[in-house]
Amino acid sequence: MALRLYSSASYNAALGKTLVGIKESDERETVLFNATLDGDHSQDSDADLIRLALDWFTVRYVKNFSDQLLNDKVNEATKVISEVQSKYAELEERLTKAEEERAEQFKQAESERNERFENLENVMNQAVVELTTMFAGRLEEEEQTDDEATEKEVAEEVEIDDEEKEAVDHEAIIG
């Protein structure tokens, strides 16, 4: 069955416009729209009314539809861009936070390392002090022992000298 369009027109003198209704006769397809044309077209033929209505529809709705479709695509792209920017900002924030945490962990690790070195240095210094004290005490003991031995030797030598002197004196007296 062929598609056949029908039109009807009614003029509104108060508005100075003609309302044209377009419909088709095929039950498989539905084409139905109203066009508002400037001026009185109530006496125009069906073919003229259909042509004027289609021109009106093309100018008004096809352009509006394409503009709307373009606007929808632009809005969709803008939404996607906004989501991408939001995700980027979120990732950037997470990266900054991770870098700050890493820097803080590094700072903490460095602080722990420095503290361990300071503790090690303190232990080493304490060990040096203890060893120095211990060796100084032993040296002192050895010096005292050496001094006592020297004093003993000197005392023994003095005793020997005194004995020799007495012996020499005694020989001189005898001799």
- List of long-range contacts for 22-25, beta carbons under 8 Å, 24+ apart: 22/49, 22/50, 22/53, 22/54, 22/57
The pLDDT assigned to 118 comes to 93
Note the Cα 118 to chain centre separation in Å.
Answer: 33
Q: Which amino acid is at 103?
A: A
| Range scoring the smallest mean pLDDT among 47-61, 65-79, 106-120 | 47-61
1 — pLDDT class (breaks 50, 70, 90): very low
pLDDT (tens digit, 9 = 90+) per residue, 123-140?
A: 999 988 888 888 887 777
**Local structure of residue 36 (DSSP, 8 states):** E
Average model confidence (pLDDT) across the chain: 82
Better-predicted residue by pLDDT, 86 or 35: 86
Give this prediction's pTM: 0.38
**Cα angle 109-113-117, degrees, rounded to a multiple of 5:** 170
81 — pLDDT class (breaks 50, 70, 90): very high
pLDDT (tens digit, 9 = 90+) per residue, 143-168?
A: 777 666 676 666 666 665 556 666 65
Better-predicted residue by pLDDT, 41 or 175: 41
